Structures are given as structure tokens and as C-alpha cells.
Amino acid sequence: MPVVRSERRPRSELNRVLVVDDEADIRELIDLTLSRMGLAAECAGTVAEARAALSAGDFQLCLTDMRLPDGEGLDIVRLIGERYPEVPVAVITAFGSAENAVAALKAGAFDYLAKPVGLDQLRTLVKSALSLSEVGGENDASRALTGDSAGMQQVRALIEKMARSQAPIYISGESGSGKELAARLIHQRSSRAGGPFVPVNCGAIPENLMESEFFGYRKGAFTGADADRDGFFQAASGGTLFLDEVADLPLAMQVKLLRAIQEKRVRKVGCVTEAPVDLRIICATHRNLRDCVDKGSFRQDLYYRLNVIELRMPPLRERREDIAPLVETILHKLCGDAPPRLSAEALAALERYPFPGNVRELENVLERATALCADDCIEAADLQIEPESCGDAPAGGWGSETLDDYLNRIERQAILDALQKTDGNRTAAARLLGVTFRSMRYRLERLGIE
């Protein structure tokens, strides 16, 4: 089959899109739609014809079917990734074929469309893909992840790659390691930068309100629903929805979330019809999501749908060489252009400290130290870091601290971190820590936490 070329206007004036599909009617439909968008379509019906077209000219986008007479769409995805990495490629999958969509995204596809192809979704995808060429190289935003350690250099490089895709991303890492900052940077570097970034703490939403908060509701859907309201999915339209602490979602909500992600459609509470949504999902949790799947608290199918690409944020103890530049950045943020200086002893103490709370804990330590220091110099004593927490424990034990004191301190910090993450919501904090509310209340009273 010869390569079919659309000659409505001179090629030099138009962005060019390679359309690969063995069904003539689908090629014609996409060609016509692209032409009305001011784009030129070059159509191919096989993998071989697509290879020839790619080698003969440059394209700004490729749309390919998954099943072709002489191969698969994944062959084209991999070819473009290897030889033409600047060209976004999207795949067209059979309706309900989530496995194919995930495989394509893992192989490097920008996004996917399900048959029958919806023209509104096609136009949205094309506009997003073409806007990638307007995004420049690394800018100051990506430098917000302070540090030049090998771990942070790898994180920044992955962010640049992830920003060119629409694939769901799972960010793993301990509390305070910068997961939300990484998600914001991916959004800022993507074709969706002009849209909203909507962060949601899944552990802070009461279970009985989750569906209405995520998907919205119609007037009269339940008592108190006195007007139509959009949910998080609608609020993030055209942008990115960041689901923090996604492991805290109850199983019933996980089922609804899975369908919304797969079908790219949501139904408001009290509504009988679904509406399309255009957004990217980025999720994060400090838990080991794979362990949650093994324990049965997180659905395996949702795990594979969210974990298309994983970004691991390294803990601060794995990149101690970044502590000095982090200190400088944080002090400037806290004190402006005239921050206090850090003594050599204080910096050494920080570099020995394990930082279980990571960068967030470092910020808290420095904020306290700036209030306690004298003569514009932060000394080791101003940090108020427990001596036994710096480096290895002494051979004689934990000094003046008993084992009970040590365990109480760790428990207290974990509870305070959970309360901070849930904005003081004790029920949500208990769920985050995996304890009952009654147990949480007892621990708060025992530890004297107001």
C-alpha cells in the first residue's frame, strides 16, 4: 500500500502528523480532523510504511494504531523513542484495552486514545502534544530541587523526560523528601503547564465524602447539595491532579478511581451520565505501595495503572553532600538577603544527623535555630539536635535517654508529622498511621500532645 499524502495546503506551512492505521476510514477521519485544525496528515497503513515515512521527513506528532498487518504499534513507539525522541507518539487502542494502553505508556508513548476515537479527545491530545515543542530546556524551576548529588541529578533528568509524557506517574519516597515539589515541577515542565495543578491529600478526606469530593455532585443529590459542584477531577481539567498519600484511599474508592483513569470519564454523584475529563494523574505516598498490594489494602489493577512510571525521591541521609546547599537555600528563604551564617561545628552536626523527617525536618531545625542564635551565627547548640541522633549510637547505649524515652520521642514525632500532613484532622491522622481513633486519642493523651 503506498503512503497516502494529504495535499490540501503546502506542507512547509503546516505542522505534520504521521497517522498509522490499517483502516482507511479511520485514517480519513483523523486526516480530516487534523486538516480542520490546520495540520497536515501523512497516512500509512503498515509498520514498514511508517518507517519509510519517518526516515523521509520530519513530523511533530505520530498517531498509531496498536494492531497493524506487519507488526504492532509498540514497534513504532520504540522506533521513535530510539531514533526520533523529539517526536511525541500516541497510540490508538481497542475500547477497554487497558493493558495495551499501559504497555504503550511504559514504552514511551505520550498518551493514548480508545476506539471509537472521540474527536474532542483527539483534538485535545493533538494540541497537548504539539505544545511540547514550546517547552524549552531545563529552567530555574527544575533547580528548585536543590543539590548536585548523583541522586538529585538523576531525579532532575527523569523529571525532564516525564514532563514530555501524559503517562501516570507514581512518586515514592519518605515523608518530607520533596514528592509534591517533584510533582509540581513535572507539571510546570509539561504541555499542561498552563492548566491547574490540583493537590489532594487522600488521607484527609472523610470516606463518606470521597466520591463527591473527587467527582462532584448534582444539585439535590443528597441533603445539603443545594447547587451543582465540580470535584477534583473537573477542577484539574487541562492540568494535573496530584493524589498525595494515595495508599490511604479505601478500596471502594479505588474501584471508582480506576474506572475514571481508564475511561477518562467521570460521573457526578446524582448524575446518570458520564462526562469526559482531560487531566494527568500523578500520585505519591510515603508507604511501600507494592507491600500494600500484597497485604490486600490496595488494588493490584489500580497499582499497575498508576505505577506506569516511577520516580523515587531519595531521602536526605542518602545525599548528605546536598545538606550545605540546602542550608543556604533554606536560610535565604527564611531570612531574606541577610541570613545568619552556620558555624563549621553546626554544619558538621547537620551532616551527621540522619534526618528521619528529611528536608522538611531540616527546614524546621533551621527555622528554630534562626530564632535562637546570637551574633548572626548559628552554633551547633542552636540546632537542638539530640546528640544521640547524630551518627551511630555510642557503645554504652543512648546516654541519659532510656529506651522508653527514645521510643516515646519517635512515636511523638510520627504523630506530629501525621497531624501536620492532615491539617490537624485526628481521624485522618489515625488512618494515616494505621491505628484506630481510640488508640490515637490515648496516645495523644499519654504523650501530652494538644
Give the pLDDT confidence of 44-91 residue by residue, as tens digits: 999 999 999 998 888 999 999 988 999 999 999 989 988 888 888 999
> How far, CA to CA in Å, does 376 sit from each of 184, 310, 369, 415?
34, 42, 11, 33
The residues spanned by each domain of the chain are: 4-134, 163-312, 316-389, 403-447
Residue 391: pLDDT band with limits 50, 70, 90: very low
Closest listed residue to residue 180, CA positions, set 162, 204, 196, 198: 198
Residues 165/108, Cβ–Cβ less than 8 Å: yes
Q: Mean of the pLDDT values across residues 337-357?
A: 90
Residue 3: pLDDT band with limits 50, 70, 90: very low
The dihedral region occupied by 280, where left means phi > 0, alpha psi between -120 and 50, and beta the remainder, is beta
Buried b / exposed e along 305-335 (16+ C-beta atoms within 10 A): bbbbbebbbbbbeebeebbeebbebbbeeee
**Spatial separation of the C-alpha atoms in residues 416 and 418, rounded to whole Å:** 5
| pLDDT at site 9 | 38
Span 178-232, pLDDT tens digits: 999 999 999 998 889 889 999 999 988 998 899 999 999 998 888 888 898 999 9
Residue 274 confidence (pLDDT) above 60: yes
Residue 150 confidence (pLDDT) above 60: yes
Span 95-106, pLDDT tens digits: 556 777 888 888
- For residue 308, how far is the Cα from the chain centroid? 11
Range with lowest mean pLDDT among 198-202, 374-378, 406-410: 406-410
Q: Mean of the pLDDT values across residues 288-301?
A: 92
Is the pTM higher than 0.75? no
Residue 139 confidence (pLDDT) above 70: no
78's CB contacts (< 8 A; 6+ apart) are 107, 108
| pLDDT at site 222 | 87
| pLDDT at site 184 | 93
Range with lowest mean pLDDT among 70-79, 95-104, 359-368, 396-405: 396-405
Q: What mean pLDDT, rounded, does the chain reach?
A: 84
Q: Mean of the pLDDT values across residues 123-151?
A: 70
Q: Mean of the pLDDT values across residues 412-423?
A: 85
Range with lowest mean pLDDT among 1-10, 240-249, 395-404: 1-10
Q: Which residue has the higher pLDDT, 240 or 5?
A: 240
Range with lowest mean pLDDT among 1-15, 106-120, 144-158, 342-356: 1-15
| pLDDT at site 5 | 43
Residue 161: pLDDT band with limits 50, 70, 90: confident
| pLDDT at site 402 | 59
Residue 116: pLDDT band with limits 50, 70, 90: confident
| pLDDT at site 327 | 92
Range with lowest mean pLDDT among 10-24, 268-282, 339-353, 366-380: 10-24
Residue 133 confidence (pLDDT) above 80: no
Q: Mean of the pLDDT values across residues 378-395?
A: 66
The share of the chain scoring above pLDDT 90, in percent, equals 41
Question: What is the CATH architecture of 163-312?
Answer: 3-Layer(aba) Sandwich (3.40)
| pLDDT at site 407 | 72
Write the single-letter amino acid at 256. K
| pLDDT at site 247 | 94
Do 4-134 and 163-312 agree at the fold level?
yes
CATH code of the domain occupying 4-134: 3.40.50.2300
Residue 12 confidence (pLDDT) above 50: no
Q: Sign of torsion, CA 268 273 278 281?
A: positive
Question: What is the CATH architecture of 403-447?
Answer: Orthogonal Bundle (1.10)
**Spatial separation of the C-alpha atoms in residues 370 and 89, rounded to whole Å:** 51
316-389 folds as: Helicase, Ruva Protein; domain 3 (1.10.8)
